[in-house]
Amino acid sequence: MSVTSTAVEPERRDLGGATWWTRLGARWLDAVVGALTGATYVFLLAPIVVVVVFSLTRSASGFKWTGFTLDWYRQLLEETQLLHSLRVSLTVGLMAAALSVLVGLLAAFAMARRRFVGKPAFTGMVLMPLVVPELVMATSLLIMLTRANVALGYASLVLGHVIITLPYAALIQLAGISGLNKEVEEAAADLGATPRQTILLVIVPQLLPAMLTAFIFAFLVSFDDIVMSTFLSGVGTTMMPVHIYSMLKLGVSPVVNALGTILVALTLLLTVTTGVRQATVQLRRG
């Protein structure tokens, strides 16, 4: 009995030491991961904070604090070219997002519910803009439109932005379609619902969260795009990112910071509203 106990005790002490070192290593790992996560958030959020803070400075240099003022927000209303580019971006973004959601919904249904010859090729074509450099797509589209004698303007911008936003809209709605309950559709058909009624009254209500998410994401991608917008914009259709980039060549104006602050506030408001709405829908279902 004594021999056995003496042989087991060192082994238990070794296991206890290994457990202590394991816990210490896990704590250090948690601390490192926490520090890296915090640094990442600071790196991502610091530019936004800087833009908001320096939209309130009196200095015209843009990044020099000399006192508090709201004059740049008032002056923003006098920047007619900047506001016109904002209207162009909103118009193109809304049109491109709507078309992307519609076409992406049809493509997602084809990828999820249909079997046909060339389906892998079709899926690859829909998702190709995710892997092809946007510069290549913009150049190719510009050459094609120029050869076809198509004037650059709203039509060319919407076409180009639909190309780059379609994959996101299709993938988001494909995930929504994959989660649909086919038994509900079959029950509706058994109760006498026509295919049109099944789509409008059964399928679309279930897909509304995915469609709304796809619309918002497509709009944000279109609104922030600069490569496609630079190549396909015509006279009087300069989009806001391109216009701001041209303004930055002459120095950063606090007016740009004021506009950025307003856009950040609207984005946060839209995100919070969407999150609250989806949470409300989940609570009603649950």
Does residue 106 form part of some domain?
A: yes
For residue 235, what are the domain limits?
81-285
Helix axis angle, 80-113 to 204-224, nearest 10°: 140
**0.95 cut: is pTM over it?**
no
CATH of the domain at 153: 1.10.3720.10
Count structural domains, the chain: 1
Does residue 228 form part of some domain?
A: yes
pLDDT band at 32 (very low <50, low <70, confident <90, very high): confident
Does residue 46 form part of some domain?
A: no
Amino acid, res. 126: V
Angular region, 194: left φ>0, alpha ψ -120 to 50, beta rest: beta
Phi, psi of 68 (to 5 degrees): -90, 140
Does residue 58 form part of some domain?
A: no
Q: What is the pLDDT of residues 36-65, one digit of tens each?
A: 999 999 998 888 888 888 888 887 776 677
Does residue 52 form part of some domain?
A: no
Does residue 104 form part of some domain?
A: yes
Does residue 29 form part of some domain?
A: no
Name the nearest CA neighbour of 284 among 211, 210, 214, 205: 205
Q: What is the pLDDT of residues 131-177, one digit of tens each?
A: 999 999 999 999 999 999 988 989 999 999 999 999 999 999 999 88
Does residue 5 form part of some domain?
A: no
For residue 44 the two structure tokens come to 């991502």
pLDDT band at 219 (very low <50, low <70, confident <90, very high): very high
